[in-house]
Amino acid sequence: MTQFSDLNLDKKVLKAVAEAGYETPTPIQEGAIPPALEGRDVLGIAQTGTGKTASFTLPMISMLHRGRARARMPRSLVLCPTRELAAQVAENFDTYAKYSKLTKALLIGGVSFKEQDALIDRGVDVLIATPGRLLDHFERGKLLLTGVQIMVVDEADRMLDMGFIPDIERIFGLTPFTRQTLFFSATMAPEIERITNTFLSAPARIEVARAATTGENIRQGVVSFKPSRRDRADKEKRNLLRALIDAEGESCTNAIIFCNRKIDVDIVAKSLKKHGYNAAPIHGDLDQSQRMKTLDGFRDGSIQFLCASDVAARGLDIPAVSHVFNYDVPSHAEDYVHRIGRTGRAGRKGAAVMICSPRDQKYFEAVESLVQMAIPVMENPLGSAPVEEDSPSEAPAESKPKRTRSRKKPSSSDTPATEAPASDAPKPSETAPPEEASTKPKSERPKGGRGKRDNRDQVVGLGEDAPAFIRLSFSERRTG
């Protein structure tokens, strides 16, 4: 079995790795580190949770231990799709470079430009950034990328989903043609493959698992959910989520609950807290300080349930996540792979449970098609038609009075007018005098038939008061 000591890494790096408790490299690390140390471009394809971060940080530190950084000109660049992932890469760099005299800077949103500018001005060996903030610094004239020797693109498929591909292409154009490129992704969409063909030179392709596969140590399941009524769907779905958490028992030590919409993240977290669960939300609309505080709380165990949008689905290394609950079926099938990849990491067992409603069926079929397996169906702990305990019982639909098109005012009597005896209804002949009943044909009746007056003798128009010029004929007007 291969050990880290067999990969020709720098001795200081090996010492830091050993102190971190790692002895055996993962398949992606074993395949990517040797060609990276040789200076070759690397294309790494592996499912999430397989150790891709160490696949590029370890060779980077080994290759950069010689040399000196210059002001505003970083020697290496790591691009990440989210702030959380960039911060995690920075933490890993600190762990593995503790015995190497290398400097780093983290460029992400939510942090003052002034503080980041001060770090860049001193010169950094490793620059870790999100694409948007990196370009902001470049356009302000605070950063030069002409000294980049090694460029890393992490979670490239997530970059594609978030619309960063044009920014990535622009950043590639700002770096030297002679750079070394390390490109990592969990899936290989056609657009990702186009970029690798354009910007990578004869890369060493390391594919340790079939694209879009899920971990074998993750127990997967799906629960069918059909609400009893449309207006109760959200409450009943939250009831089902709590029942699924309770059904897992003590094995559910902590969990990430994924929702498709940010508003649902807040609602689900608030509902769980209301019912006594230790939960907190995390999504892109929260302040960066709040997001980092929530993640730290989830890592140290002070928060048990993390309600998240897909901003937390990629790359976050939280080894001891026991469960993942997909409150919503992801609208992009690839996100399912990344979501459940938060559990079952580093050889641990994990569980992933998904709630599927009838309107999610097409997304669920896309997920099964992508992972090429039938996800086992689990029993609904609430039964097929869950009922709200705190909701008043509703009368059956048949007991409701039927609507009528009649505009007549309701009678004060308790008996509907339609049930009154026919003899009580007044007849037209009893209510209208005979002389007012019209016997003329319809075409000869005067318009405005609602009135009862006879308008035949009334003057129509101006009568005798009409001016003389109006009474002239058309020929008389012309000759006059």
Edge-to-edge strands, sheet with 350-356: 218-224, 350-356, 323-326, 255-258, 305-308, 279-282
On the question of a common fold for 4-207 and 218-371, the answer reads yes
Indicate the burial class of 217 (C-beta count within 10 angstroms; 0-12, 13-18, 19 or more).
middle
Query: What pLDDT is stored for residue 377 in this prediction?
Result: 95
pLDDT at 461: 58
Cα–Cα distance, 258 to 355 (Å, whole number): 11
Interacting residues of 325 by C-beta distance below 8 A, sequence separation 6+ = 241, 244, 245, 255, 256, 257, 258, 352, 353, 354, 355
User: What span, in angstroms and rounded, lies between the C-alpha atoms of 321 and 343?
Assistant: 5
User: pLDDT digit string (tens) for 325-380?
Assistant: 999 999 888 889 888 888 887 678 899 999 999 999 999 999 999 888 899 999 99
Q: Provide the CATH topology of domain 218-371.
A: Rossmann fold (3.40.50)
Contact 44, 55 (CB under 8 A): yes
Highest mean pLDDT of the ranges 322-326, 407-411, 469-473: 322-326
pLDDT at 398: 43
- Domain boundary assignment for the chain: 4-207, 218-371
Q: What is the pLDDT of residues 212-227, one digit of tens each?
A: 566 678 999 999 999 9
Query: What's the pTM?
Result: 0.65
What digits encode the pLDDT tens for the residues 425-466? 444 444 444 444 444 454 455 554 454 455 555 555 555 666
- Going by C-beta distance under 8 Å and a sequence separation of 6 or more, which residues neighbour residue 24? 1, 2, 3, 4
The yes/no answer on whether domain 4-207 falls in CATH 3.40.50.300 is yes
Q: Give residue for tokens 């949770």.
A: 49
Confidence class for position 406, pLDDT limits 50, 70, 90: very low
**Res 341: pLDDT:** 83
Q: What is the Cα 307 distance to its own chain's centre?
A: 12
- Per-residue pLDDT at 139: 94
The residue written with tokens 């920075």 in the block is 90
